[in-house]
């Protein structure tokens, strides 16, 4: 299985701050990487697919980059409604695997 390692596991930032989460794959996955947002009690929501493509309807403050084994997810200006846990997910191989999640809180 391809292991996905996210860091940090949690972070606290102020409204308006730039927030960055990293995701490292245990092997080269090209750009086959997606990002999801999960709010408490809700299903995950797709934000970014193919490492850098913004899903329709998702605010432009969210972005993704990277290829190979190292990927970055950025919120350019943190908003109160962005409080959630964020997951990366690879689709280079089966089984599909997710990172352990990064919990984002407001300072």
Partner 1 sequence: QVQLQESGPGLVKPSQTLSLTCTVSGGSISSGSYYWSWIRQPAGKGLEWIGRIYTSGSTNYNPSLKSRVTISVDTSKNQFSLKLSSVTAADTAVYYCAREQDWFDYWGQGTLVTVSS
Summarize as ranges the residues that interact with partner 1 (CB under 8 A). Answer: 1, 32, 34, 36, 42-46, 49-50, 55, 87, 89, 91, 94-101
Q: Dump the DSSP string for 41-55.
A: TS--EEEEETTTEEP
Cα separation, 48 vs 45, whole angstroms: 9
- Cβ 100 to partner 1 shortest distance, Å: 5
Nearer to partner 1, 80 or 95 (CB): 95
CA-based angle 93:46:70, to the nearest 5? 50
- Cβ 49 to partner 1 shortest distance, Å: 4
Nearer to partner 1, 66 or 101 (CB): 101
For residue 19, how far is the Cα from the chain centroid?
11
Residue with tokens 């930032």: 13
- Cβ 45 to partner 1 shortest distance, Å: 8
Nearer to partner 1, 1 or 18 (CB): 1
- Cβ 85 to partner 1 shortest distance, Å: 9
Tell me the backbone φ, ψ of residue 33, rounded to 5 degrees: -140, 135
Nearer to partner 1, 20 or 32 (CB): 32
Total Cβ atoms within 10 A of residue 1: 10
């Amino acid at each position: 299985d391809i292991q996905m390692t996210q860091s940090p596991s949690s972070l606290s930032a102020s409204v308006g701050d730039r927030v960055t989460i990293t995701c490292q794959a245990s092997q080269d996955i090209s750009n086959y990487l997606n990002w999801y947002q999960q709010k408490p009690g809700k299903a995950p929501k797709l934000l970014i697919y193919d490492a850098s493509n913004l899903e329709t309807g998702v605010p432009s403050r969210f972005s993704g980059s990277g290829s190979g084994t190292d990927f970055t997810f950025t919120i350019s200006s943190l908003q109160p409604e962005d409080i959630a846990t964020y997951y990366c997910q690879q689709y280079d191989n089966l089984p599909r695997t997710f990172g352990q999640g990064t919990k984002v809180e407001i300072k």
